[in-house]
Structure 1
C-alpha cells in the first residue's frame, strides 16, 4: 500500500463507503477530494445540469493535472481512464453487497429526514435506481474494472470491509 500517495482514486459501488473514505483521507492528508458525480453534473439550485462530454473531460483533466487529489466515484468508463493512469494509489472498495443495500436504505432515510445532506433531491425514483446501479456494479462494473485496469495491479488496493479501511488511518 502506498501510504505516501498524493493522487488517489477511490472506486466502488453505491453505498460502498467511497465518499466517507475520501473525506477522511482528505482531512488526514490535507489533500482536496472530488466526487466524479460532481464532475458529470453541475449542481445548481434550480436543478442539476449534465455537463457536455467536453466540459466533463476538461474539468477532470484540470483536476488530474494538479499535484495532489483524491477522486472518488463509481465510474470506470473511458473518460475516467486517465484518472486511473495518473493515480499513485487506486482503492477499490469491494464492500459486501448486503452492507451496501443497508447503507442505501439508511442514507435515503437520513436524507429524507434532512439528517444528511445530498447533492441531489432524494426521490423514490433515485432510491430504486441505486439498487439497480448496485446490482450493475456487482455484475458488470467490477468485472470490467479488473479486466480493463488490471494492468495497474501494482497500485490497486482492494478493501472489503471497515477494518481494511482502518489501516489507512493508523
Structure 2
C-alpha cells in the first residue's frame, strides 16, 4: 500500500500518517524532511537534487505513507501512490489546531522537527491563510489528474471512516 497524504498546516497530516504507518506497519515519510536537513543550529534547505533523490528513495519502497503540503515537485510520489488523501479540514479548525500544537510543543507534550518559537507560530497562521487562498485551488486542479485515487476528507468523522475502511482492506 502506498498512501500520499496532503493538506495544510494543522490539517492532521502527520497524525494520520503516523496512525496509517502503525496500522499497516509501513514506512512514514514527511516531505519537509526531503526539503530540509535538521541541525541543532538550524534547518538547512536541501538542494533540489538531494530533495528529489530522497523522494525517489522513499517511493521506490514496496509500501509507504508520505505526508506533506508539497505537490509542486512530488509528482512521482502522487503517480506511485495507490491513494491520495486530501485533508481539506476547515480553516478555523486548522487555526485552532495550530494553537493547540504550539502549546503542546512548549509544554514538551508533543515533539517538533523544529524549535517552537513565536516566529514559527506566527508563520503557521500565514501558511494557513496562504494555503487556503493560493495553494488549495492549485491542489484541486492538480488532483483532477488523479481523481480515481483522491479521497477528500473534511471532518474528523470522515478521517476515522477512511481509517476504518483501510483496516478492513
TM range (shorter): over 0.9
Q: Distance in 2 between matches of 1:63 and 1:56?
A: 11
Structure 1 counterpart of 2:83, from 85, 89, 96: 89
How far residue 105 of structure 1 moved from its aligned partner, in angstroms, is 0.5
After superposition, the C-alpha distances for 1:33-67 in whole angstroms (9 at most, x for unaligned) are 10111111112233222111110011101111111
After superposition, the C-alpha distances for 1:119-147 in whole angstroms (9 at most, x for unaligned) are 00011111111011111111111110121
Determine whether 1:137 maps to 2:131: yes
After superposition, the C-alpha distances for 1:85-131 in whole angstroms (9 at most, x for unaligned) are 11110000000111100000111111112121100001111111101
Determine whether 1:72 maps to 2:67: yes
Contact 2:28 2:64 in 1 (8 A): yes
How far residue 169 of structure 1 moved from its aligned partner, in angstroms, is 3.2
Structure 1 counterpart of 2:143, from 143, 149, 157: 149
Q: Distance in 1 between matches of 2:148 and 2:162?
A: 17
Structure 1 residue runs of 4 or more that deviate by more than 4 Å after TM superposition: none
Contact 1:76 1:141 in 2 (8 A): no
Which residue pairs with 2:28 in the alignment?
33
Q: Distance in 2 between matches of 1:102 and 1:24?
A: 21
Structure 2 counterpart of 1:8, from 3, 15, 20: 3
Which residue pairs with 1:122 in the alignment?
116
Q: Distance in 2 between matches of 1:22 and 1:142?
A: 20
Structure 1 counterpart of 2:44, from 43, 49, 72: 49
TM-score by length of 1: 0.93
SS state of the match for residue 74, structure 2?
helix
TM-score by length of 2: 0.93
> Any stretches of 5+ residues in structure 1 without a counterpart?
1-5
> Any stretches of 5+ residues in structure 2 without a counterpart?
165-169
Root-mean-square deviation (Å)? 1.0
Q: Distance in 2 between matches of 1:169 and 1:157?
A: 12
